[in-house]
Amino acid sequence: MEDITFDEMGICNVCKSSEDKMRIEWQQRGENLENILSEAKEKSGDNYDCILPISGGKDSFYQAHILTKVYNMNPLAVTFSHNWYSETGFYNLQLCLETFNLDHIQFTPARKTVNNLTKKSLSLIGDSCWHCHAGIGSFPLQIAVMYKIPLLIWGESINEADGRSTYSCPSVKFDRDYFTKVSARYTAEEIADKDVPLDRLQGFRLPTYAEIEDTGVWGIHLG
């Protein structure tokens, strides 16, 4: 595991991050969350209150439940499809949208593009899913900028199971380059080549820093 360390007792920093959760002041964190969501709702006017990036998995249902049922938010659900959905996975995504009555935007890259990116991804980053890591980071940001919706509500944080950041010492803050830093490693511009030209990677291209700043885009993790 990347950036893993062990203390004098042989306990790794990921396990220590899990231990951090036992000491979190949940009531205070709950009040902070309520303030964030209340402010977003107040500022949204007749727009959506926030962006809800979802895949249809366990985190997606939790995010949607907390936002719509607990805090009465009006999120716009956004999905980057890796084009690898199983029948069950696709069903779960539709179930989430219907259960929580969500408006939804989805981007699905062409299968040939995915295949070419997968081959390149293996040698570049050590797994086959560059397009997953990059698309999850870029497409919701594109929609946030396009629809002028500043707040993104993500699910699980890397503090949960990653050696690079812990709850007590979070070292990776969400920003435009968050998913490039923690998983994708390369931008669309850097990964483009003759087999996957840049004009086939529009869904993977991050908004500019100026666009992000102009919209005021930022994100939190419910996890």
Q: What pLDDT is attached to residue 21?
A: 81
The pLDDT tens digits of the residues spanning 82-135 come to: 999 999 999 999 999 999 999 999 999 999 999 999 999 999 999 999 999 999
Sign of CA dihedral 70, 75, 77, 78: negative
The pLDDT tens digits of the residues spanning 180-218 come to: 999 999 999 999 999 999 999 999 999 999 999 999 999
Closest C-alpha to 191, from 146, 142, 138: 138
Q: What pLDDT is attached to residue 127?
A: 93
Q: What pLDDT is attached to residue 103?
A: 98
Predicted TM-score (pTM) of the model is 0.93
Mean pLDDT score of the chain: 93
- For the purposes of burial, counting CB atoms within 10 Å of the CB of 218, is it exposed (0-12), middle (13-18) or buried (19 or more)? middle
Closest C-alpha to 46, from 141, 144, 148: 148
Is the pLDDT at 167 greater than 90? The verdict is no
- Give the Cβ contact number of residue 87 at 10 Å: 7
